[in-house]
């Protein structure tokens, strides 16, 4: 089957968007931390990514979340599962962006609930949607699938460890190391890597799968 010039340009643009989303996911914790250092003239990391709402860095946090939400809303995959996951991911990303963790009790509930749900949706992409393929998977596709699964499991582990920290270790000495910030960052890096690979940046085999 031949691909017209227009179809090829559309495909390249779509793959580029995936790469951009991946880069945004990887860059977000770095941007927040470095900008936070500049604002407070110190090397102090906030307890979590959400705590950067208190600084001007919320502009980057909200802006990237809105970009992610819009992409997920417009994202289309193989079947309706991708559409549903994208719509839910959009909703939860907006929930994190619009309801700060420093607001009222109800706002905090929406924020943390949306953050948890967003990471679960993103991990589902890696574990169940990105691993789909048309026909027999190529060797490159098999490598990509392993990376997707590693990223998906990594996100779930990070989420579980964040929950464990808030449940048992929130007032322990380990809190001084800001584990939530690092776990959230690792989860975002896993998310970013998976979308970067999905953009056929690495292990490309000529298929859009």
Residue 2 inside a domain? The answer is no
Residue 34 inside a domain? The answer is yes
Q: Give the residue with greater pLDDT, 164 vs 102.
A: 164
Residue 83 has pLDDT above 80, yes or no: yes
Amino acid 15: pLDDT: 80
Residue 206 inside a domain? The answer is no
Residue 80 inside a domain? The answer is yes
Share of the chain above pLDDT 70, in %: 90
Q: Give the tens place of pLDDT for each residue, 26-40.
A: 999 999 999 999 888
Q: Which of 29-38, 99-108, 120-129, 194-203 has the lowest mean pLDDT?
A: 194-203
CB-based burial label for 201 (10 Å; 0-12, 13-18, 19+): middle
Q: Which of 100-104, 122-126, 192-196 has the lowest mean pLDDT?
A: 100-104
Average pLDDT over residues 11-25: 80
184 near 158, Cβ under 8 Å? Answer: yes
Return mean pLDDT, the chain.
Answer: 88
Q: Which of 71-80, 94-103, 146-155 has the lowest mean pLDDT?
A: 71-80
Residue 162 inside a domain? The answer is yes
Residue 207 inside a domain? The answer is no
Amino acid 9: pLDDT: 55
Residue 77 has pLDDT above 50, yes or no: yes
Average pLDDT over residues 133-161: 92
Q: Give the tens place of pLDDT for each residue, 148-175.
A: 999 999 999 999 999 999 999 999 999 9
Q: What's the gap between Cα 24 and its chain centre?
A: 8
Q: What is the pTM of this model?
A: 0.89
Average pLDDT over residues 105-131: 95
Residue 12 has pLDDT above 70, yes or no: no
Residue 208 inside a domain? The answer is no
Residue 101 inside a domain? The answer is yes
Q: Which domain holds residue 107?
A: 9-198
Q: Domains in the chain: how many in total? A: 1
Amino acid 206: pLDDT: 58
């Amino acid at each position: 089957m031949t691909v017209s010039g227009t179809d090829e340009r559309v495909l390249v643009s779509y793959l580029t968007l995936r790469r951009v989303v991946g880069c945004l996911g990887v860059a977000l914790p770095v941007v927040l931390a470095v900008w936070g250092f500049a604002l407070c003239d110190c090397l102090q990391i906030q307890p979590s990514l959400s705590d950067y709402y208190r600084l001007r860095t919320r502009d980057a946090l909200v802006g990237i979340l809105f970009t992610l939400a819009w992409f997920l809303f417009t994202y289309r995959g193989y079947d309706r599962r991708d559409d549903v996951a994208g719509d839910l991911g959009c909703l939860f990303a907006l929930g994190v962006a619009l309801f700060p963790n420093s607001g009222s009790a109800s706002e905090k509930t929406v924020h943390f609930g949306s953050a948890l749900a967003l990471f679960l949706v993103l991990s589902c992409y890696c574990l169940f949607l990105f691993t789909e393929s048309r026909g027999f998977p190529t060797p490159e596709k098999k490598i990509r699938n392993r990376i997707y699964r590693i990223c998906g499991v990594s996100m779930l582990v990070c989420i579980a460890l964040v929950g464990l920290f808030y449940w048992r270790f929130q007032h322990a000495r380990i809190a001084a190391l800001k584990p939530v910030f690092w776990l959230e960052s690792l989860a975002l890096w896993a998310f970013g890597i998976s979308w970067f690979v999905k953009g056929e940046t690495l292990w490309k085999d000529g298929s859009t799968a």
